Amino acid sequence: MEILFLNQEDVKDTLDMTCAMEVNEDAFLQHGLAKVQMPIKSYLYFHEYNGDLRTMPAYIEDKDICGVKIVNSHPNNPKVGLPTVMGVVVLNSTNTGETLAIVEASYLTDIRTGAAGGIAAKYLARKDSEVVGIIGAGHQAHAQLLALSELFDIKEVKVTSLHMEECKEFECRLESEIDCEFTKTMNLEQICDCDILVTTTPSRNYLVEKEWVKPGTHINAIGADAKGKQEIDPSLLVHSKLVVDDIPQASHSGDINVPISEGKLEVEDIYCELGQIINGTYAGRQTDEEITIFDSTGLAIQDVATASYVYSKAKDKMIGKRVEMFF
């Protein structure tokens, strides 16, 4: 038996945002059609190190794809020169269970999460959206903006972070890829004055006040991906068209997890899952005035679908390292 090992450069050689959005939209569609098996994420918490480790298995039945992602989240990692998120996706044969590939998942996770935000905005944001506000200036903010630039004619990007230097670095990374004006500010209310708002922080106290968000805004709430995290005012969640990637998982670890646990939000307040909009069961944006929110926790189906695409392209391009396994 041979296993194909694909490192980050191999993934970058086979995956771009356009392809990631196509692959992930189909994965969400399969989820909306109830043609996947996907338990919610399981967590190990390392409180001493402000980190956690997650396992995320999934099987996309009609595509005959299965596997599991093993991934961490350690927000302090950049201080020691490591990415906040690192991981691998293990792809398995559904026929025999054998391991087919091990795919490095740091870049893959960034791109598939960015793709999810772009897909959500495709269905939920106003078509004439041109001002993007971003809270957080790391790799995920970068990926979210790239995905949005695939769909919208962006005129201005407002960005904030804990340190102004991070905002300057963000602009330097993106200015060659997106032709727009960059406004850097520490004023959160100013950031929220936009058409599409993106939050990409590990905050445990909400950052976006209901009063700051104007009618017609779409919000991609990306950062809350574990119990106790939140970025959006619970009263804003209740009074918006609230869409999640997966109701059981979001209830446990999405932006809605804290207000649900505190009784400020009910599962019944959720409009639907993203896949149910893609498959036509529910409508997306219906008026220019409604506020829409997409609560993204990151789904295992995204990981196995994206890794399977990378695996297929890598075989075609004959890249990666093959290792024989003997029993």
Residue 55: Cβ-neighbour burial (10 angstroms; 0-12, 13-18, 19+) = middle
Determine how many CB atoms are found less than 10 A away from the CB of residue 288.
10
Helix axes 17-32, 300-317, angle to 10 degrees: 130
Q: What does the alpha-carbon distance between residue 231 and residue 233 come to, in Å, rounded to a whole number? A: 7
* Pair 200, 134: CB distance under 8 Å: yes
H or E segment and range at residue 13: helix 8-14
Residue type at position 314? A
Q: Is 317 a catalytic residue?
A: no
What dihedral do alpha carbons 112, 72, 68, 140 form, nearest 10°? 0
H or E segment and range at residue 199: strand 196-199
* Pair 23, 313: CB distance under 8 Å: no
Query: b/e for 135-148, b at 16 or more Cβ within 10 A?
Result: bbbbbbbbbbbbbb
- Among residues 63, 69, 158, 241, the one annotated as catalytic is 69
* Pair 38, 273: CB distance under 8 Å: no
Query: Residue 61 phi/psi, 5° resolution?
Result: -65, -50
Write the DSSP string, 136-173: --SHHHHHHHHHHHTTS---EEEEE-SSHHHHHHHHHH
Residue type at position 5? F
Per-residue tokens: 17: 């945002």
Active-site residue list: 69
